[in-house]
């Protein structure tokens, strides 16, 4: 088998990935499939950290557009990410993968507080680390949390798993003629306002030359293929 292309990766999953065909909440079948994919990558000797969104349960920006105080809505969204993190932890541990959930909000009964050096130590001890509650601050997305945590733990790449094959010039789910990019620079993403990650996350990655690979995580085996160095989706780098 080919050797992994990376030693330590940060996998960014949107909450919507976990809802499967349900359209809301967590699909047990999808959750188990994602966990199995992560187990295979972990079995290659790759250190895996995960940041997961909460859009399948609650989306703060949508709630604030309906009149909910933005800061309160964002905190509610952070709690939704923690629900997803605990669900993924359970799914992974049921198939023999040791994990730790670390959270930016104080919830000691269910998760460790986020401590950078402890997170790195967990990775070195072959545990999958799942980061919940974003950055712990309102007005920042889980994309920004992914960029921040990736740099803090020394990840070599952000693997952004989505429901489409990469980055397009328009929404491929609405526009059949949308064109996919194989490679982009950070500046091109910002200049063209492409929906890869939010501008704060892209700027952080650009300042630290941290590459991002955007790929379709719903295709079985794709996480492993990306880790093994196969060209999938869209690469964003300097």
Task: List pLDDT tens digits, range 118-138.
Answer: 999 999 999 999 999 999 999
Is residue 2 a part of any domain in this protein?
Answer: no
| Burial of 115: CB neighbours in 10 Å, binned 0-12, 13-18, 19+ | exposed
Return the structure tokens found at 141: 């997305």
Is residue 46 a part of any domain in this protein?
Answer: yes
Is residue 123 a part of any domain in this protein?
Answer: yes
What pLDDT score was predicted for residue 90? 97
Provide the 8-state DSSP code for 4: P
- Cα-based angle 34, 46, 126 (whole degrees, multiple of 5): 90
Nearest CA to 81 out of 7, 149, 21 is that of: 149
Nearest CA to 144 out of 41, 12, 22 is that of: 12
What pLDDT score was predicted for residue 60? 74
> What average pLDDT does this structure show over 216-234?
94
Cα dihedral: 107, 58, 205, 40 (round 10): 80
Tell me how far apart the alpha carbons of residues 123 and 103 are, in angstroms, rounded to a whole number: 16
Is residue 1 a part of any domain in this protein?
Answer: no
Is residue 153 a part of any domain in this protein?
Answer: yes
Is residue 174 a part of any domain in this protein?
Answer: yes
Is residue 105 a part of any domain in this protein?
Answer: yes
Range of the domain at 53: 8-237
Return the structure tokens found at 238: 């300097």
Does residue 85 contact residue 101 with C-beta atoms inside 8 Å?
A: yes
Tell me how far apart the alpha carbons of residues 106 and 114 are, in angstroms, rounded to a whole number: 9
Q: Which residues pair with 168 in a beta bridge?
A: 180
Quick one: residue 96, left, alpha or beta (phi over 0 = left, psi -120 to 50 = alpha)? left
How many structural domains does the chain have? 1
Give residue-wise pLDDT tens across range 16-70: 999 888 778 999 999 999 999 999 999 999 999 999 999 999 877 778 778 889 9
Its pTM stands at: 0.94
In percent, how much of the chain has pLDDT > 90? 82
Q: Check whether 1 has a pLDDT greater than 70.
A: no
* Chain mean pLDDT for the chain: 93
Provide the 8-state DSSP code for 172: T
- Domain of 69: which CATH number? 3.40.1160.10
Is residue 3 a part of any domain in this protein?
Answer: no
> What average pLDDT does this structure show over 197-223?
95
């Amino acid at each position: 088998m080919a050797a992994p292309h990376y030693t330590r990766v940060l996998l960014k999953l949107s909450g919507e990935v976990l809802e499967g065909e349900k359209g809301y909440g967590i699909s047990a079948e999808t959750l188990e499939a994602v966990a199995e994919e992560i187990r295979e990558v972990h079995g290659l000797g790759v250190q895996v950290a995960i940041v997961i969104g909460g859009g399948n349960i609650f989306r703060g920006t949508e709630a604030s557009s309906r009149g909910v105080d933005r800061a309160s809505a964002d905190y509610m969204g952070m709690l939704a990410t923690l629900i997803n993190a605990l669900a993924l932890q359970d799914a992974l541990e049921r198939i023999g993968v040791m994990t730790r959930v670390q959270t930016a909000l104080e919830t000691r009964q269910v998760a460790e507080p986020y401590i950078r050096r402890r997170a790195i130590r967990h990775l070195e001890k072959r545990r999958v680390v799942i980061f919940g509650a974003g950055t712990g601050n309102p007005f920042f997305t889980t994309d920004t949390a992914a960029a921040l945590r990736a740099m803090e733990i020394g990840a070599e790449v952000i693997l952004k798993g989505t429901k489409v094959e990469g980055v397009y010039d328009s929404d491929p789910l609405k526009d059949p003629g949308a064109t996919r990019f194989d490679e982009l620079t950070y500046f091109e993403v910002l200049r063209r306002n492409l929906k890869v990650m939010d501008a704060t996350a892209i700027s952080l990655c650009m300042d630290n030359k941290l590459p991002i690979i955007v790929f379709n995580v719903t295709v079985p085996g794709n996480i492993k293929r990306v880790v093994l160095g196969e060209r999938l989706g869209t690469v964003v780098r300097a």
